[in-house]
Amino acid sequence: MIHPDSKQFLGLNRSQSIQRFVVTAEQMSHIEGRVFAAGMPVAALMEKVAGLITAWVRSRFSVSQFPRVGVLVGPGHNGGDALVVARELHVSGYEVKLYQPFSQLKDLTASHAQYIASLGISVQDQIEALASCDLVIDGLFGFGLTRSLEGAIAAAVDQVNQWSQPVVSIDLPSGLHTDTGAVLGTAIQATHTLCLGLWKRAFLQEQALAYMGESHLIDFGLPLADITAVLGETPKLQRITPAMAIESLPLSRPATTHKYKQGHLLLVCGSRQYMGAAVLAGLSARASGVGMLSIAVPESMRLLLIAQLPDALVMGCSEDDTGAMAQLPEDLEMEKYNAIACGCGVTPAASPVVQQVLARDRPVVLDADGLNILANLATLPTLKARTAPTILTPHWGEFKRLFPELAEASDDRITAAQQAAQQSGAVVLLKGARTTIASPNGTAWLNPESTPALARGGTGDVLTGLMGGLLAQGVLRGTAIEQVVFSAAWWHAQAGIMAATERSELGVDASTLIHYLIPALQPYC
Q: Give domain limits for the chain.
A: 6-235, 243-524
Q: Is the pLDDT of residue 295 over 60?
A: yes
Is the CB of residue 215 less than 8 Å from the CB of residue 9? Answer: no
What is the mean pLDDT of the segment spanning 55-74?
Answer: 98
Q: Is the pLDDT of residue 486 over 60?
A: yes
What is the mean pLDDT of the segment spanning 166-180?
Answer: 98
Is 276 annotated in some ligand binding site? no
CATH superfamily of 6-235: YjeF N-terminal domain (3.40.50.10260)
Confidence band of 1 (pLDDT split at 50, 70, 90): very low
Report the DSSP pairing between strands 22-23 and 199-200.
parallel
Confidence band of 15 (pLDDT split at 50, 70, 90): confident
Is 435 annotated in some ligand binding site? yes
pLDDT value of position 5: 36
Is 110 annotated in some ligand binding site? no
pLDDT value of position 410: 80
Residue 51 burial class via C-beta count within 10 angstroms: exposed 0-12, middle 13-18, buried 19 and up: middle
Is 6 annotated in some ligand binding site? no
Beta-bridge partner residues of 193: 169, 215
- How far is CA 358 from each of CA 95, 183, 191, 380, 513, rounded to the nearest angstrom? 66, 41, 46, 11, 29
SS3 96: strand
Rounded distance, CA 490 to CA 436, Å?
11
Lowest mean pLDDT among 1-10, 71-80, 257-266, 272-281: 1-10
Is 461 annotated in some ligand binding site? yes
Is 321 annotated in some ligand binding site? no
Residue 264 burial class via C-beta count within 10 angstroms: exposed 0-12, middle 13-18, buried 19 and up: buried
The conformational region for residue 221 under phi > 0 = left, psi -120 to 50 = alpha, else beta, is left
What is the mean pLDDT of the segment spanning 247-253?
Answer: 90
498's enclosing H/E stretch is helix 481-503
Is 361 annotated in some ligand binding site? no
pLDDT value of position 176: 98
SS3 181: coil
Is 48 annotated in some ligand binding site? no
Class of the CATH domain delimited by 243-524: alpha beta
DSSP H helices, 143-274, are 151-162, 209-212, 224-231, 242-246
Is 145 annotated in some ligand binding site? yes
CA angle, 129 then 196 then 72, to 5°: 10
Is 397 annotated in some ligand binding site? no
Is 59 annotated in some ligand binding site? no
Confidence band of 401 (pLDDT split at 50, 70, 90): very high
Is 87 annotated in some ligand binding site? no
The three-state DSSP-derived secondary structure of 432-471 is CCCCEEECCCCCEEECCCCCHHHCCCCHHHHHHHHHHHHH
Phi, psi of 295 (to 5 degrees): -130, 125
Confidence band of 321 (pLDDT split at 50, 70, 90): very high
Buried b (16+ CB within 10 A) or exposed e, 201-227: bbbbbbbbbebbbebebbebebeeebb
Is the CB of residue 289 less than 8 Å from the CB of residue 240? Answer: no
384-396 confidence digits (pLDDT tens):
999 999 999 999 9
Rounded distance, CA 475 to CA 195, Å?
37
Task: Provide the residue type at 128 as one letter.
Answer: E
Is 456 annotated in some ligand binding site? no
pLDDT value of position 346: 98
Is 146 annotated in some ligand binding site? yes
Is 142 annotated in some ligand binding site? yes
